[in-house]
A = this chain, B = another copy of it.
């Protein structure tokens, strides 16, 4: 094809970055890319900008994403059905309620032990922890002083949740109960009893 003739002998920096992101099984940081390309981090950042523009310019199947502290290539949305047919892969199941709660606790409190997770959820969370581990979203991160395994989220977690880093998790204060909620809960617990005891 004629177009091939026009392309330069050596790929430019943006093209090299694209090739590296294609090969790398995990997100690559700007520093790693700079070292590999023997160039400056600022040049790499500019090259990623160029790559993003190129990929965004036409109808393209790929996009560049910043996840888990690095850059990676991903498909554009809209190809899940076709890829499932090609790769014969089952659909990624959504998170169950137990898994989502366990993951939220680990994401915000990490590193955190299983007894601690169970204490917060009020139920043993063994099977949720096991399936999150199997899905690669969390991983063991050593042992607590009392010998319990402690957990943290994995890089895959950041990747599949599209997070640049854990800082990008929604601000936990937005989940704080309002003072009214607290008061209501407290009063309810006591006052209902009062009414019944002293009719």
- A: which residues have CB within 8 A of B? 1, 3-4, 6-12, 14-24, 28, 32-33, 35-38, 49, 51-54, 56-62, 73, 75-76, 78-79, 82-83, 85-87
A87 touches B24 (CB 8 A): yes
B59 touches A11 (CB 8 A): yes
Contact A24:B86 (CB < 8 A) given known A19-B75, A53-B3: yes
Chain multiplicity (copies): 2
Give the distance to chain B from A56, nearest Cβ to Cβ, in Å.
4
A82 touches B7 (CB 8 A): no
Instruction: Report the bound CA distance from A54 to B57 in whole Å.
Output: 11
Contact A15:B82 (CB < 8 A) given known A1-B53, A54-B58: no
Instruction: Report the bound CA distance from A32 to B11 in whole Å.
Output: 31
The 3 closest A-B pairs by CB, nearest first: A18-B61, A19-B61, A3-B56
B61 touches A11 (CB 8 A): yes
Chain B residues with CB under 8 Å of A52's CB are: 1, 3
B7 touches A61 (CB 8 A): no
Give the distance to chain B from A189, nearest Cβ to Cβ, in Å.
38
Q: Per a CB cutoff under 8 Å, which of B9, B22, B56 touches A78?
A: B9
Give the distance to chain B from A73, nearest Cβ to Cβ, in Å.
7
A20 touches B53 (CB 8 A): no
Chain B residues with CB under 8 Å of A86's CB are: 20, 23-24, 28, 32-33, 35-36
A62 touches B3 (CB 8 A): no
Contact A17:B61 (CB < 8 A) given known A9-B78, A32-B86, A78-B10: yes
Instruction: Report the bound CA distance from A16 to B12 in whole Å.
Output: 25
Chain B residues with CB under 8 Å of A83's CB are: 19-20, 23, 36
